[in-house]
Amino acid sequence: MNRGQRGKLAMAAAALSVGLLALTGCGYVNAQQTSQQYAASDGTRADVGPVQLRNMLIVSTGENEPGRLIGAVYNSSSKDVKVTLKGAEGSQTEVSVKQNSYTLLNDSTDAATLSTTGGKPGSLVDVQVTEDGTNVSKSFKVPVVDGTLKEYESYLPAGSTPTGTPTPSETATTAAPSEGH
Sequence-ordered list of residues with C-beta below 8 angstroms from that of 28, at least 6 positions apart, any chain: none
DSSP string, the chain: --HHHHHHHHHHHHHHHHHHHHHHHHHHHSPPGGGS----SSSEEEEETTEEEEEEEEEESSTTS-EEEEEEEEE-SSS-EEEEEE-GGG-EEEEEE-TTEEEETTT-SS--EES--SS-TTSEEEEEEEETTT--EEEEEEEEE-TTSHHHHTTSPTT---TTPPPHHHHHHHHHHHHT-
Residue 85 has pLDDT above 80, yes or no: yes
Contact 88, 125 (CB under 8 A): yes
- At 134 the pLDDT is 85
More confident residue, 168 or 106: 106
Q: Are strands 137-145 and 51-60 parallel, antiparallel or unpaired?
A: parallel
Average pLDDT over residues 82-91: 93
- At 179 the pLDDT is 45
Average pLDDT over residues 93-120: 90
Prediction pTM value: 0.68
- pLDDT digits 0-9 by tens, 34-46: 666 655 567 899 9
- pLDDT digits 0-9 by tens, 118-172: 999 999 999 999 999 888 899 999 999 998 889 899 999 876 666 554 444 444 4
Could you give the C-alpha distances from 142 to 34, 77, 82, 87, 155, in angstroms and in order? 24, 24, 20, 10, 16
Contact 46, 24 (CB under 8 A): no
- pLDDT digits 0-9 by tens, 3-12: 777 777 888 8
Burial class for 59, CB neighbours closer than 10 Å (0-12, 13-18, 19+):
buried
